[in-house]
A and B are shown apart, each in its own frame.
Chain A
Amino acid sequence: MTATKIKEKAGKALFASSAIICIVAVLAIFVFLIIKSAPAFQKIGVFDFIFGDKWSPNREDTYNSDMSGKYGIFTMIIGTVSATIGALLIGGTLGYFTSIFLVFYCPKGLKKPLNTVINLLAGIPSVVYGFFGIAFLLPTLSNIAPNNGSGLLATSIILGIMILPTVVSLSKTSLEAVPSTYYQGSLATGADHTKTVFRVMVPSASSGIMASLVLGIGRALGETMAVVMVAGNAPTYPYSLFNSFRVMTANIVMEMGYAGELQEGALVATGVVLLVFVLLVNLLFNLISNKMVRSAVSSKSNFKWFNSIRQKINDKVTQISYKINSSKIGEIGAKASGLLVSGVLILIVGFIFIKGMPTLVTTPHLLIGKFEFGSEKITILPALVCTLFAVILSLLFAVPIGVATAIFLNEYTSKSNFIVKMIRGAIDILAGVPSIVYGLFGMITFVKLFGGSSSIIAGSLTISIMLLPTIVRSTEESLKSVPMSLREASLALGAGKMRTIFKVVLPSSLPGILSAIILSIGRVVSESAPLLYTMGSVIKAVPTNIFDSGATLAVALYKLSGEGWYINEAYATAVVLIILVLGLNLIAETVGNKLRTGLKGENNVNKKKSKSTE
């Protein structure tokens, strides 16, 4: 074998092994969760665990001793389901109308700003939503609530806002994909714009809109920090709009830090139940999106009576909707939602800025001060340093592996290959796993690995697995956009595959990879649930090495807002966090746009050429 040949072989092996890491990560998550939860399931009993509605764990309980605590999570299952339904009612409805507004009613000049607003809403960290909930929503609601405002309503509102961008972006895509010939066909029968929109265009996109709602459900199920901050978290059913209740994710976060043996098992088991929910939702999503592809086929059931009942119901609905002129109502809804969504962002960001800016400006100590133990003066400098550490380390792990996986998938394999399907499946699953489950996984693996207490390295490793799906997917996207002819040209010049990849393919897809990296940075900055117990949650001195523990900025905000004494500092921290994250999102968007206009420019050139040759 020649040297080049060895190099080629080694390269391929390297890319392949990166891809294998993704599968291993998924397997590891499942295996560890199962190993850790199985004894608890056994001890408590699967039925009693799921359907028991008393949760009062005892730290002293172990697998071998008698059980004195109660471990039933049914209240929390109901809590999670109710909060998700609430979020869907608010965020789903609002998202539905907002996407219709964006596609069919938005004045041209407003389209771009509103899109940006929605992207920015997607970028705001969940602790900031939670903090907004504590600082604004709960006090406001307490005027009409018998308690301090926390409970199902507050949770649903906050979660609703959080799932809105998810719902909007996918609904929008599927509305835009409805052929314009439908639009013309409807106008040609004499229907006006609004009737056409609500009678033809929206129904034609219904499976896409359904899929977007399911995706929103997935998001709501897995959300942790924002819910923890406004739900109250007592392990009871949400029997009214305003009573303290607990969701599954909250259960894990609330108790993981000080859990006893059996309790820890039960918390991991809670994670398993949550994961099952999420996977089921993902399955549903896949079913619906597959149906989207085959949407042409009519759904006909074999049962005659079922068909006739369905037909009658459809009939009545259509009749009523035409009678009450529902499309007009829809138009009003769409316009109102567009306004409301912009209002919400302005409210959240504006409120926090107005409250936080003065502190930030008048207290330089907050940003650059030295940490003093026991001092009243808070400084977030250590948190900033921790965040920086986490960003650098997690990218150091995730980017090479993610990019190599994408290269393996796109440059070395055919689509139908079994391994490739496995890897893609693994990446899809990784993308759907709730962040708190990553946190659990990190606790029982990386934290244990690095001596049993949280550390920057353990947190960064945890979060780097979370980043993999994003990096792999967007790198693949940009690899795909590199024209085949470039590769062929390079190969035709006698360059090997490795040389072609590194000298031709990767440089051309750099902007795409870059914007994925920037988005990942944003993600590390905003995440808190997976870091709380892996990286650390105590605000203390600037860390000196990666085996120190420490709170990142987002975790620090969670801590500060929970303690009540430092509310001004919390506002200021939230301001810094928002600036960082929104800044990163804007940069990512600009880079992305550059990429797109770059490609467009190329197209224009082609067009001009083909015109002149005509």
Chain B
Amino acid sequence: MLIRKNRNPQNNELSFNGHISVSNASLWYEDFQALKNISIEIPENQITAFIGPSGCGKSTFLKCLNRMNDLVDNCRVEGSFKIGDVDIYGKIDVNELRKNVGMVFQKPNPFPMSVYDNIAYGPRTFGITKRQELDEIVESSLRQAAMWDDLKDRLFESALGLSGGQQQRLCIARALAVKPKIILMDEPTSALDPISTGKIEELCEELKKDTTIVIVTHNMQQASRISDKTGFFLLGELVEYDNTDNIFTSPNDERTERYITGRFG
């Protein structure tokens, strides 16, 4: 071949932004097809919710967006996944991708270290070691997650001593510390009580000013409360994707209607 592409994966100035655009995406776990030909445009700085019955592929799709599926053996992906202009399955530095696309998990998973170290973890990974700089990042991340006042005196206690809701917000703060453009949340409140859930929802509203949020939820009220767009998954297909109001008031597809009115799933 005469023309050589730039093979350097450390092409650092990747122009990630908060817009996700997926077309004709399919995914297989060995022979089992978990995602079927999915196309979707997720707009920048909005909250997009995915709903659907258990096992329909919501988490699987979410994990495609920061390539956490790379961890699964025998998992094969087809189709085009773009964030901004970047083809995220192309020759890119996957760590750079994950820095820009943060993730919050179903069960809070703070590391067994101090609150401070949890939040400083990401920045340190990317080479920030100055105490002062870290202090600033920790404070601003905790403020963004609305827990600075709660935690400013407990920064050096183990994060495992926090309550479940606090732990989950800490995980959000940890994700925020590397200043991602997008945050993926997989049922972030399913293990929490209603009050903590409310706090996280408020937080999402706050964050969407400059962050794209993609959230998977089993809670229909939650989806209708906080999201701008909603996608309904069924058996690996994206059945319907529209403005949240439309989905919940006048869905196009009969299956969507049956699901949101609670007749199956």
A residues at B contact (CB < 8 Å): 179, 181-182, 184-192, 195, 199-200, 203-204, 295-298, 300, 307, 311, 315, 318-319, 322-323
Contacts and interface: CB of A to CB of B under 8 A. Distances in A.
Given A187-B98, A189-B125, A191-B121, A297 B174 contact: no
A323 B129 CA distance: 7
A188 B95 contact: no
B129 A191 contact: no
A195 B68 CA distance: 16
6 contacts: A179-B109, A184-B103, A188-B175, A189-B125, A189-B174, A200-B111
A181 B107 contact: yes
Interface in B69-94: 71
Q: Is the interface of A mostly helix, strand, loop or mixed?
A: helix
B124 A296 contact: no
A295 B125 contact: no
Interface in B170-228: 171, 174-175, 177-178
Contact of A185 (B71, B111, B129): B111
Contacts of B68: 184, 187-188
B111 A204 contact: yes
A297 B98 contact: no
Contacts of B129: 319, 322-323
Nearest to A298: B158
B231 interface: no
Interface of B: 66, 68, 71, 95-100, 102-103, 105, 107, 109-114, 117, 121-122, 124-127, 129, 131, 156-158, 160-161, 171, 174-175, 177-178
Contacts of A297: 158, 160-161
A414 to B, nearest CB: 32
B86 to A, nearest CB: 15
In order of increasing CB-CB distance, the 8 nearest A-B pairs are A298-B158, A190-B99, A188-B103, A189-B122, A181-B109, A185-B109, A190-B98, A191-B125
A366 to B, nearest CB: 52
Contacts of A199: 121, 124-125
B53 to A, nearest CB: 15
B71 A187 contact: yes
B171 A296 contact: no
A195 B122 CA distance: 10
B112 A185 contact: no
Contact of A186 (B102, B117, B121, B127): B121
B125 A195 contact: yes
B112 A296 contact: yes
A546 B110 CA distance: 63
A192 B96 CA distance: 10
Given A189-B174, A192-B95, A199-B121, A296 B160 contact: yes
B131 to A, nearest CB: 7
Contacts of A203: 111-113
Contacts, number: 91
Contacts of A190: 95-100, 122, 125-126, 178
Contacts of A300: 157
A209 to B, nearest CB: 13
Nearest to A187: B98
Nearest to B126: A190
A315 B111 CA distance: 17
Contact of B156 (A200, A295, A307): A307
Nearest to B67: A187
B138 to A, nearest CB: 13
A318 B113 CA distance: 12
A187 B175 CA distance: 11
Nearest to B128: A322
Nearest to A185: B109
Contact of B161 (A195, A296, A318): A296
Given A311-B156, A322-B124, A186 B111 contact: yes
A515 to B, nearest CB: 31
A23 B111 CA distance: 43
Contacts of B110: 185
B105 A318 contact: no
Given A182-B109, A189-B175, A315 B131 contact: yes
B105 A295 contact: no
A192 B99 CA distance: 11
Contacts of B111: 182, 185-186, 200, 203-204
Given A195-B125, A296-B158, A315-B131, A188 B117 contact: no
Contacts of B96: 190
Contacts of A307: 156
B117 to A, nearest CB: 7
A23 B127 CA distance: 58
Contacts of A189: 98-99, 102, 121-122, 125, 174-175, 177-178
A186 B66 CA distance: 13
A298 B98 contact: no
Contacts of B124: 199, 318, 322
Contacts of A298: 114, 157-158, 160-161
Nearest to A178: B112
A324 to B, nearest CB: 10
Given A185-B109, A190-B97, A296-B112, 15 more contacts: A181-B107, A186-B111, A189-B98, A189-B99, A189-B121, A189-B125, A189-B174, A190-B126, A199-B124, A200-B111, A200-B121, A298-B157, A319-B131, A322-B124, A323-B129
A185 B171 contact: yes
The interface centre, meaning the residue of A185, A186, A315 with most chain B CB atoms within 10 A of its CB, is A185
Nearest to A310: B156
Contacts of A184: 68, 71, 103, 105, 109
